[in-house]
């Protein structure tokens, strides 16, 4: 594991990005960027406020960890030329994906636990994204075998279980909580992307009002609150202009848009309700944000 620690750049951005989000008053929003990075994309936050995600520095994608004090550590899987830290649980265990120079499109999953990296792939997978982990250590994500469509997976006690929404042409699992509720995205036979929750052996469907969703990024909190993204255009949702974050809870859907930003994505939510994500500026660069919930 390669580590590099820098000081945090945390604070409000100047010119055109005041505090606040569209919809209900969810709390206070703050912004941060990794020093030297052209893109900063926070993907997950645990109950202690530790954030993980991805960034691009000098053209290369790295994982990162941001601690409670705002210090950053860069994470690279040894031998990889592409590393993402996708999710962190309350024990500090991290899952993500990486690629190697010999395969430009291949991806593999990994677990970083107690300073040790363990890699894994579902049987036959040539494209593995580990996207969520709960405190039990259950891991969810997506995988593909060759040119087949993606399937969701659950990795529990060393055993892989494939997750496919009935009738879907593609299924991605991206979050799991300690109640063993799994959330993800799927593509319908007629080309619409929607959110599913898998619980007690059954699937339930969540559709943001009339919109397609991003299939492979989002999260579910300990109490079942869900964050993700929807887009103004048809599937696939692209991280850029016309993308909106959302929170879905007992109050229904709330849109999360950084004021003045062309596109906003909500990626992670912890037990207290703090939300992390990224927005795109007018030049196409991605920056991190955090919403500290006012009611928690």
What's residue 24's pLDDT?
47
Q: Residue 242, SS3? A: coil
Residue 128 banded pLDDT, cuts 50, 70, 90: very high
CATH classification at residue 259: 2.120.10.30
Give the pLDDT of residue 294. 56
The answer as to whether 219 is a domain residue is yes
In a domain, 143, yes or no: yes
- Kindly report which listed range (8-12, 32-36, 66-70, 85-89) carries the lowest average pLDDT score: 8-12
Residue 123 within a domain: yes
Confidence of residue 66 (pLDDT cuts 50, 70, 90): very high
Tokens 């906003």 correspond to 264
Calculate the average pLDDT of the chain.
Answer: 89
Residue 177: which pLDDT band, with cuts at 50, 70 and 90? very high
Q: What pLDDT shows up at residue 25?
A: 62
- Give Cβ neighbours of residue 59 (< 8 Å, ≥ 6 apart): none
- Condensed to tens digits (0 to 9), the pLDDT of residues 28-55 reads 899 999 999 999 999 999 999 999 999 9
How large is the average pLDDT for residues 161-186?
97
Residue 293: the pLDDT is: 77
Tell me which DSSP letter residue 16 carries. Answer: S
Kindly state the tokens that stand for 235.
């599937």
CA dist., res. 92 & res. 44, Å (int): 11
What are the tens digits of pLDDT across the range 223-264?
Answer: 999 999 999 888 888 888 899 999 999 988 999 999 899 999
The pTM assigned to this predicted structure is 0.91
The SS3 assignment for 241 reads: coil
pLDDT at 22: 44
| pLDDT attached to residue 251 | 87
Domain membership flag for residue 20: no
286 closest CA partner among 29, 44, 32, 14: 32
φ, ψ for residue 10, nearest 5 deg: -120, 135
Number of domains in the chain: 1
* Cα gap 15→35, rounded to integer Å: 20
* C-beta separation of 230 from 238 below 8 A: no
72 Cβ contact partners less than 8 Å away, ≥ 6 residues apart: 5, 6, 8, 34, 35, 64, 65, 66
Q: What is the mean pLDDT of residues 4-11?
A: 28
pLDDT of residue 202: 95
Q: Which domain holds residue 52?
A: 5-15+25-293
102-115 mean pLDDT: 94
Indicate whether 208 pLDDT > 50.
yes
First-to-last alpha carbon distance for the chain, in angstroms, is: 35
CA distance 117 to 128: 16
Q: Is the pLDDT of residue 3 over 70?
A: no
């Amino acid at each position: 594991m390669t580590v590099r620690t820098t000081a945090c750049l945390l604070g409000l951005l100047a010119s055109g990005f005041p505090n606040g989000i569209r919809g209900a008053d969810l709390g206070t929003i703050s912004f941060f960027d990794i020093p030297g990075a052209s893109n900063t994309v926070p993907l997950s936050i645990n109950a202690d406020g530790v954030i993980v995600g991805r960034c691009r520095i000098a053209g290369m994608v790295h994982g990162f960890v941001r601690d409670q004090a705002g210090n950053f550590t860069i994470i690279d899987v040894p031998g990889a030329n592409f590393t993402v830290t996708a999710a962190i649980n309350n024990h500090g265990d991290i899952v993500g994906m990486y690629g190697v120079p010999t395969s430009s499109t291949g991806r593999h999953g990994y677990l970083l636990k107690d300073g040790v990296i363990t890699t894994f792939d579902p049987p036959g997978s040539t494209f593995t994204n580990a996207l969520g982990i709960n405190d039990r250590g259950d891991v969810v994500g997506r995988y593909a075998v060759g040119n087949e469509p993606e399937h969701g997976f659950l990795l529990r006690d060393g055993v892989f279980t494939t997750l496919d929404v009935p009738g879907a042409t593609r299924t991605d699992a991206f979050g799991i909580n300690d109640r063993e509720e799994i959330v993800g995205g799927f593509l319908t036979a007629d080309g619409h992307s929607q959110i599913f929750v898998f619980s007690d052996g059954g699937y339930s469907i969540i559709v943001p009002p009339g919109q397609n969703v991003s299939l492979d990024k989002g999260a579910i909190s300990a109490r079942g609150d869900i964050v993700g993204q929807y887009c103004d255009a048809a599937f696939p949702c692209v991280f850029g202009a016309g993308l909106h974050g959302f929170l879905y809870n007992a109050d229904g859907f709330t849109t999360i848009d950084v004021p003045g930003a062309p596109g906003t994505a909500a990626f992670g939510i912890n037990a207290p309700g703090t939300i992390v994500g990224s927005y795109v500026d007018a030049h196409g660069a991605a920056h991190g944000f955090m919403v500290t919930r006012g009611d928690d």
